[in-house]
Amino acid sequence: KQEVTQIPAALSVPEGENLVLNCSFTDSAIYNLQWFRQDPGKGLTSLLLIQSSQREQTSGRLNASLDKSSGRSTLYIAASQPGDSATYLCAVMPWSNYQLIWGAGTKLIIKP
Amino acid sequence: DVKVTQSSRYLVKRTGEKVFLECVQDMDHENMFWYRQDPGLGLRLIYFSYDVKMKEKGDIPEGYSVSREKKERFSLILESASTNQTSMYLCASSLSNSDIRRYEQYFGPGTRLTVT
């Protein structure tokens, strides 16, 4: 059974730092992987989607990588800003069905 | 930009009431989803729909039903609300019914439902 883990559960860093959020999954048979952010009490915003054939995707200061063989994805945030403070969730779409499997999220706080 | 809207941000209902949560998307997406999000349990899929009048059960359909009469609108119905249905409800949509897995899901702002 596919399981998705995000470590750490919470992270606090000073503004301006580059940082990496981690997502690991137990079954490499994935169709794609998606990163989201969620602000407190709000819905999810899609950040990046990586298909299984891709190694990375970039959007602005965000870069997501995918290594299926090791069961890992990372979300790299460059030059962090206080506005990046949110919970970041990763979700894996298995090959075998159509339901996303979700990680529990990493709560990120960027200190001014 | 994809826009997914939900009818209410906050809702308070009494036990036993019939509750309707509405979701509308404006990007002509075929697929629509209802999730609930609870602390410690993460997001769980309740139902999804891949076309008008078509629906599939997710992980936790008990106590819920759905309706999709028009492509842009997907309704979640709590037939008789109970306190354990107090939760954040999130609607999402994605493109294409040829392969539901392929495209990213776009989420609405959520409805925080409290059942007393």
Specify the pLDDT at position B81. 97
Query: DSSP label at B104?
Result: P
Closest A-chain CA to B103 = A49
Token pair, residue B12, equals 């308070």
Residue B101 and residue A98: Cβ atoms within 8 Å? yes
pLDDT for res B2: 66
Q: Give me the residue label for tokens 């809207």.
A: B5
Q: CB distance A34–B104 less than 8 Å?
A: yes
Cα nearest neighbour of A37 on chain B: B107
Separation of alpha carbons B71 and B50, rounded Å: 9
How many A×B Cβ pairs under 8 Å?
47
- B92-111 pLDDT per residue, tens: 999 876 676 778 899 999 99
B34: its two tokens:
């209802």
What mean pLDDT do residues B26-30 have?
A: 91
Condensed to tens digits (0 to 9), the pLDDT of residues B80-90 reads: 999 999 999 99
Residue type present at position B28: D
pLDDT digits (tens, 9 = 90+) for A40-99: 888 899 999 999 999 999 999 999 999 999 999 999 999 999 999 999 999 999 888 778
pLDDT the model gives residue B44: 93
Confidence (pLDDT) at B1:
67
Answer yes or no: is pLDDT of B37 > 90: yes
